[in-house]
């Protein structure tokens, strides 16, 4: 079996296997979900290095972070997100899973999703974990995601939702970005209900 065929098989297992299926923000796409959705069927294409260099470095750093785009979580945080996740490591969940997602922390010209200043988030919960809450942060005006690793001081908490019943998708609607313009990072924390499992998503956007 070719490497590409093996990768496709791994991707299918990751999408359908109960043990490995968790979730991510899919709109605006998290960094790892976006890289998987754009290149999962063509991850060996050398054109990625020029067309999508941040995804290229992510695939080169750890291919399993792409196939497991839905597994970026930590356990046992007990709501102390800022205590558990150091500055500069927010997009990797504090280098969770032995650093598997560390490339997500690398500043650079990640592909962005164009958003209006009032926007919605679609979070996919493949395993139907439910949510105790979802927190949405946006970077402050002036933060430069292309040069500066993300820190808590760069973020403003915009909204904290209530509970969500177990379902395949959760929508957080009418999020107000205020007067922000240009490139930003939307940082989403999903606190799953089935256990103390916290998910961390960096989504690059342009307002």
Nearest Cα to Cα of residue 103 among 125, 136, 72: 72
Quick count: other Cβ atoms within 10 Å of Cβ 200? 27
- Check whether 203 has a pLDDT greater than 70: yes
Residue 29 DSSP one-character state: B
91 vs 201: CA distance, rounded Å: 6
Mean of the per-residue pLDDT values of the chain: 90
Helix (H) or strand (E) holding 21: none
Task: Assign residue 198 the CATH number of its domain.
Answer: 2.70.50.50
- The pTM is what? 0.89
Task: Tell me the CB-side half-sphere exposure of residue 201, using CA atoms within 13 A.
Answer: 31
- The tens digit of pLDDT for each residue in 135-150 reads 999 999 999 999 999 9
For residue 77, give its domain range: 3-206
Mean pLDDT of 110-125: 97
- The tens digit of pLDDT for each residue in 6-35 reads 443 344 333 333 344 699 999 999 999 999
**How many separate domains does the chain show?**
1
């Amino acid at each position: 079996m070719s490497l590409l065929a093996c990768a496709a098989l791994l991707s299918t297992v990751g999408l359908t296997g109960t043990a490995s299926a968790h979730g991510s923000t899919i709109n605006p796409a998290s960094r790892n979900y976006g890289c998987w959705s754009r290149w999962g069927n063509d991850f060996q294409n050398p054109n990625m290095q020029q067309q999508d260099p941040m995804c290229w470095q992510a695939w080169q750093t750890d291919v399993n972070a792409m196939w497991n785009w839905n597994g970026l979580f930590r356990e046992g945080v007990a709501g102390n997100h800022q205590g558990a996740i150091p500055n500069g490591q927010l997009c990797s969940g504090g280098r969770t899973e032995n650093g598997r997602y560390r490339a997500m922390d690398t500043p650079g010209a990640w592909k962005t999703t164009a958003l209006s200043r009032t926007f919605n988030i679609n979070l996919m919960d493949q395993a139907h974990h439910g949510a105790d809450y979802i927190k949405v942060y946006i970077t402050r005006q002036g933060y430069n995601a292309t040069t500066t690793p993300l820190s808590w001081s760069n973020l403003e908490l915009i909204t904290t939702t209530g509970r969500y019943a177990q379902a395949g998708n959760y929508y957080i609607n009418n999020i107000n970005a205020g007067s922000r313009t240009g490139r930003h990072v939307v940082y989403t924390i999903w606190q799953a209900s089935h256990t103390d499992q916290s998910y961390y998503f960096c989504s690059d956007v342009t307002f």
